[in-house]
Chain A
């Protein structure tokens, strides 16, 4: 172990970690928002549009992330979409995550008893109020766990961004490894950083779950 390597490559690694976290957080938030929008739209629109959304979900969910990234980054310029690596990474992350989030939200919507929604409509609540005040708080109870799952999966997917030269963590560690011919040191840091992200996510998930399940403390 050569620890002075860390002094030399510390700033680059930290920068890489910053880029990873940036892509991950912006991508996840964007994916959640887009996914929620898709799930809401799916609930309220006509049948043809629903098929369209379904097709979007199937295609994005069914193809590998790396291929989507390649198409957006290398194929984008054909359609006049020229993006820098980081925005391209974030955009593809949002697109990749959205169908998964949409399905999680759809499952959440479906698990709320219909009677509650009908009752809320009867008292004249607006659809949006029903969603934000009745459906969402209840479904958070059981979608927090799948959401945490998928956020953890996304932390690890950020590594794929390195193939389109996003200067994220894996890119920096690979640079460090190939410049110094050391492999243990860079990849040890790499795994520590990813581990920290996973631990932080699952901690956050537990906190959110504890917060949203206060009203139903129970044990089977």
Chain B
């Protein structure tokens, strides 16, 4: 019987003690590991959105070459499982002289994969922008690059925000794959602690709660951004 506050759960014949003490004791390790999860997620998000904008611009470019290249990018990164991409980044890139540390490979793989999805979301959102706005901007003599920076991208981000938040949340969850190339992030630490304590239920629930907190924050920020942009 575990000391401290605990909860009895009956599971068939057995009785399992759900011990909060185990969670409390291991929480510092989990939170410490969550920092790496956050780092991968945040850096991945930055790459995802930044690169996603360029890939999206490529997808609707007038140049056939650029358009095809972007289409291949999207179909490759959406079509190949992220785990495989991660292994390619980590194990194959050194052969072409690009030796990334594990965390770098993880960030790059997660970010580039997510960029393909972000690009498609933005491409969808761009179609919702009334044509008149672009024509008005053209008529005012605004350079195309500024039309993109000041009009198209902010509007696309606003319209696509719910889907974008979906994608960023998936990105946080998928960062757990980074443990495969040796990044000691949240899921891996949870596995390690489970290996020592033999308490998978408590530890994984604690890890899930940390993911839930991170994702809820992202979602809240998304709502906030949506309301800020939605002044029109």
Interface residues in chain A, defined as those with a beta carbon under 8 Å from any beta carbon in chain B: 57-59, 61-64, 67, 78, 100, 103-104, 106-107, 110-111, 139, 141-146, 148-150, 152-153, 156, 191, 194-195, 198-199, 202, 213, 216, 218-220
Compute how far the CA of A158 lies from the CA of B125 in the bound complex, rounded to whole angstroms.
28
The one of B60, B121, B123, B216 that contacts A62, using a Cβ cutoff of 8 Å: B216
Q: Is B31 an interface residue (CB 8 A)?
A: no
Q: Max chain A CB contacts within 10 Å: which of B78, B124, B126, B167?
A: B124
Interface residues of A: mostly helix, strand, loop or mixed?
A: helix
Q: Could you write out 27 A-B pairs with CB less than 8 Å apart?
A: A57-B219, A58-B219, A62-B211, A63-B208, A64-B208, A106-B162, A107-B160, A107-B162, A107-B163, A110-B226, A142-B159, A143-B163, A146-B124, A146-B160, A148-B120, A149-B78, A150-B166, A152-B79, A153-B117, A195-B79, A198-B79, A202-B78, A216-B127, A219-B60, A219-B62, A220-B126, A220-B134
A104 engages B208 (CB within 8 Å): no
Identify which of residues 186-232 in chain B touch chain A, using a CB-to-CB cut-off of 8 Å.
Answer: 204, 208, 211-212, 214-216, 219, 226, 230
Compute how far the CA of A100 lies from the CA of B163 in the bound complex, rounded to whole angstroms.
8
Query: Taking CB as reference atom, which chain A residue is nearest B217?
Result: A62
The 4 nearest A-B residue pairs measured at CB: A145-B124, A107-B162, A62-B215, A146-B163
Compute how far the CA of A156 lies from the CA of B78 in the bound complex, rounded to whole angstroms.
10
Given contacts A62-B211, A220-B152, contact A146 B120 (CB under 8 A): yes
Query: Taking CB as reference atom, which chain A residue is nearest B75?
Result: A202
Task: Name 20 extra pairs, CB < 8 A, besides A146-B160, A220-B60.
Answer: A61-B166, A63-B212, A64-B176, A67-B208, A78-B10, A103-B166, A104-B163, A104-B166, A106-B162, A107-B160, A110-B162, A110-B226, A111-B125, A139-B128, A141-B124, A141-B128, A142-B160, A146-B121, A156-B81, A202-B78
A141 engages B127 (CB within 8 Å): yes
The one of A57, A63, A106, A218 that contacts B131, using a Cβ cutoff of 8 Å: A218
A103 engages B162 (CB within 8 Å): yes
Q: Is B27 an interface residue (CB 8 A)?
A: no
A58 engages B216 (CB within 8 Å): yes
Q: Max chain B CB contacts within 10 Å: which of A142, A144, A202, A216?
A: A142
A67 engages B204 (CB within 8 Å): yes
Q: Please, which residues of chain A bring their CB within 8 A of the CB of B127? A: 141-142, 213, 216
A61 engages B169 (CB within 8 Å): yes
Interface residues of B: mostly helix, strand, loop or mixed?
A: helix
Query: Taking CB as reference atom, which chain B residue is nearest A206?
Result: B71
Q: Please, which residues of chain B bring their CB within 8 A of the CB of A63? A: 208, 211-212
A107 engages B131 (CB within 8 Å): no
Q: Contact size class for B?
A: 35 or more
The one of B11, B120, B219 that contacts A145, using a Cβ cutoff of 8 Å: B120
Q: Is B87 an interface residue (CB 8 A)?
A: no
Compute how far the CA of A131 lies from the CA of B78 in the bound complex, rounded to whole angstroms.
31
Compute how far the CA of A216 lies from the CA of B60 in the bound complex, rounded to whole angstroms.
14
Compute how far the CA of A145 lies from the CA of B159 in the bound complex, rounded to whole angstroms.
13
Compute how far the CA of A157 lies from the CA of B11 in the bound complex, rounded to whole angstroms.
28
Q: Max chain B CB contacts within 10 Å: which of A61, A139, A216?
A: A61
How near does chain B come to A60, taking the closest CB pair, in angstroms? Answer: 10
B173 engages A199 (CB within 8 Å): no
Compute how far the CA of A111 lies from the CA of B230 in the bound complex, rounded to whole angstroms.
10
Compute how far the CA of A2 lies from the CA of B214 in the bound complex, rounded to whole angstroms.
47
Q: Is B180 an interface residue (CB 8 A)?
A: no
Q: Please, which residues of chain B bring their CB within 8 A of the CB of A156? A: 81
A153 engages B161 (CB within 8 Å): no
Query: Taking CB as reference atom, which chain A residue is nearest B218?
Result: A62
How near does chain A come to B173, taking the closest CB pair, in angstroms? Answer: 6
Q: Please, which residues of chain A bring their CB within 8 A of the CB of B208? A: 63-64, 67
A62 engages B128 (CB within 8 Å): no
Q: Please, which residues of chain B bring their CB within 8 A of the CB of A59? A: 212
Compute how far the CA of A96 lies from the CA of B116 in the bound complex, rounded to whole angstroms.
22
